[in-house]
């Protein structure tokens, strides 16, 4: 008898949890992702600021499921869904729109960067959503210091050594604090012609406070900590323009060669594929059992789903995606084996955390509001616990201890293929010149 086929699209927090919840189900589970790795997004900023290497925050999906015999992993980009024929279409390196049939479908495709209608900003202000983004930001930051060291004209130092982050949510706050620590400690003794500690780190947001999803006292604590680290915090004004020279905010031009976008996200096109009702942001409105109306076989979970609880939409955080993925997997399992059906999905909020530089975090869980070193220890423990494999846990723990004690970072390599091509060409050209003049 043919096995029930469960297709899961996206191996982020939601998709991974759904697939794992189906490990004992007599079904064939097909997990499709456009990358070959599961990425631990909350630590992306640490790759962008050189603390960790890309391999410390991501694991090959195939390796995660090596022991789950009912799971097959496909590397491909899903391009659409046919609800009537019950199949998804994916493209890979040499084929387009290959159909894969399903009995149950879980869409867990997350979000992408959104520039709030200003897509032209993308070329000047990269975001932080994938490993490629994180390495690109790391290259850009480190390159700015190298250029400044080589630059004779001190007036250009100002632009090169000004780093702007647009968006003061958790990513912007964590990233600006980590950058401030990088420039004021790690890099300090390594340059001869510039003083890295003179670099400006500017955090801008139109909101009146940083970390707006946290309570006011924690926002204030985070802002004070940022200022202590030397971050200029500019709130209450949206950015008027981002271009090759920097930004304009509240009518003032801030010159910078490194602007990083940490402001907005937009959901994946799951709503368009399914042609179903979405919220204003474009996230698929799901029912309390996380299925879409009239299709009990289609689940949408995580950042790309929209569900209200206690009159408020659930936030786009890892815990929501994880719990929803697990719930969808269990519900599908109960449909297939005929067990008791779980109650409607209910999110259990374990709290919110954000780290603000070395040894300081803010933590909010229920009525508990903590800031400082104890919150940082809790932050570190929780993040280690949720890394996908024990080898990553050990590796990240060792790196954190090393960085904490010595200030040294995991990887400060500028890995820029085109840059090195150019470098090789110009090196070859100059060697040629030398040979000719000889
Ligand atoms: C920089 C950053 C920092 C964050 N920090 C925190 C934090 O501190 N705490 C917290 O709780 N949350 C944090 N989040 C949010 C958290 O990471 C997300 O809420 C969570 O990842 C959502 O899980 P998901 O499964 O919905 O999507 P994701 O984890 O984003 O996974 C989506 C997956 O779908 C794949 N995919 C997308 N489209 C396709 C397609 N067409 N075909 C095939 N595959 C596709 C992607 O490759 C990806 O693997 C952060 C996010 C970012 C970007």
Name the residue with tokens 């004004």: 237
Residues labelled as active-site residues:
174
For the stretch 20-58, pLDDT in tens is 999 999 999 999 999 999 999 999 999 999 999 999 999
Which atom of ligand 1 has the smallest separation from the CA of 130?
Answer: 53
Cα–Cα distance measured from residue 147 to residue 142, given in angstroms and rounded to the nearest whole number: 9
Torsion of CA 277, 279, 282, 283, to 10 degrees: -90
Q: pTM of the predicted model, to two decimals?
A: 0.93
Ligand 1 centroid to 131 CA: how many Å?
11
Could you tell me the CA-to-CA distances from 94 to 11, 55, 77, 98, 392 in Å, in that order? 22, 27, 12, 10, 32
Cα 379 to averaged position of ligand 1 atoms, centre (Å): 19
Residues 327 and 14: their CA atoms lie apart, in Å, by 10
109 lines ligand 1 (CB under 6 A): yes
Q: Is 323 in the pocket of ligand 1 (CB under 6 A)?
A: no
Q: In a mutational test of the pocket of ligand 1, which residue from 11, 39, 42, 352 has the highest number of ligand atoms less than 8 Å from its CB?
A: 42
Q: Could you tell me the pLDDT band of residue 437, with boundaries at 50, 70 and 90? A: very low
Query: pLDDT, tens digit, for every residue of 185-230?
Result: 888 888 999 999 999 999 999 999 999 999 999 999 999 999 999 9
| pLDDT reading at 433 higher than 70 | no
* Six token digits for residue 351: 């709290």
Q: Which two tokens stand for residue 304?
A: 């790309």
What is the largest distance, in Å, between two alpha-carbon atoms of the chain? 85
CB of residue 43 inside a 6 A radius of ligand 1: no
Q: What is the mean pLDDT of the chain?
A: 92
Rounded average pLDDT over 368-390 = 95
What does the pLDDT look like over 215-272, one tens digit per residue? 999 999 999 999 999 999 999 999 999 999 999 999 999 999 999 999 988 999 999 9
Evaluate: CB of 174 within 6 angstroms of ligand 1: no
CA of 12 to the centre of ligand 1 (A): 5
């Amino acid at each position: 008898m043919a096995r029930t086929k469960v297709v899961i699209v996206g191996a982020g927090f939601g998709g991974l949890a759904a697939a794992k919840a189906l490990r004992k189900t007599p079904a064939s589970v097909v997990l499709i992702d456009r990358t070959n790795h599961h990425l631990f997004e909350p630590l992306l900023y640490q790759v962008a600021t050189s603390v960790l290497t890309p391999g410390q925050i991501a694991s090959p999906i195939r390796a995660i499921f090596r022991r789950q015999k009912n799971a097959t992993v496909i590397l491909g980009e899903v391009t659409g869904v046919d609800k009537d024929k019950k199949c998804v279409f994916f493209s890979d390196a040499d084929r387009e729109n290959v159909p894969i049939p399903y009995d149950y479908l879980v869409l867990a495709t997350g979000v992408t960067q959104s520039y709030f209608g200003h897509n032209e900003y993308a070329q000047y202000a990269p975001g932080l959503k994938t490993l490629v983004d994180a390495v690109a930001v790391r290259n850009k930051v480190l390159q700015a210091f190298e250029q400044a060291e080589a630059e004779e004209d001190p007036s250009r130092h100002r632009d090169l050594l000004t780093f702007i982050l647009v968006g003061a949510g958790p990513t912007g706050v964590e990233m600006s604090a980590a950058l401030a620590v990088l420039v004021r400690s790690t890099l300090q003794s390594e340059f001869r012609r510039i003083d890295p500690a003179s670099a400006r780190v500017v955090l801008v947001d139109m909101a009146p406070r940083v970390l707006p999803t946290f309570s006011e006292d924690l926002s204030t604590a985070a802002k004070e900590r940022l200022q202590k680290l030397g971050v200029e915090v500019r709130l209450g004004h949206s950015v008027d323009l981002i271009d090759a020279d920097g930004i304009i905010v509240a009518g003032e031009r801030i010159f910078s060669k490194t602007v990083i976008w940490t402001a907005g996200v937009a959901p994946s096109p799951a709503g368009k594929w399914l042609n179903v009702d979405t919220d204003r942001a474009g996230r698929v409105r799901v029912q309390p059992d996380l299925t879409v109306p009239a299709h009990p076989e289609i689940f949408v979970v995580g950042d790309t789903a929209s569900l209200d609880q206690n009159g408020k939409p659930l936030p786009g955080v890892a815990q929501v995606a994880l719990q929803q993925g697990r719930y969808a997997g269990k519900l599908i399992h109960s449909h297939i084996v005929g067990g008791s059906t779980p109650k409607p999905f209910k999110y259990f909020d374990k709290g919110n955390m954000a780290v603000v530089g070395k040894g300081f975090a803010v933590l909010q869980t229920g009525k508990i509001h903590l800031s400082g070193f104890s919150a940082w220890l809790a932050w570190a423990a929780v993040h280690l616990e949720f890394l996908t494999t024990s080898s990553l846990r050990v590796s990240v723990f060792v790196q954190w201890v090393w960085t904490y004690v010595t200030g040294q970072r995991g990887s400060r390599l500028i890995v820029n293929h085109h840059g090195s091509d150019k470098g090789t060409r110009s090196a070859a050209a100059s060697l040629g010149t030398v040979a000719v003049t000889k």
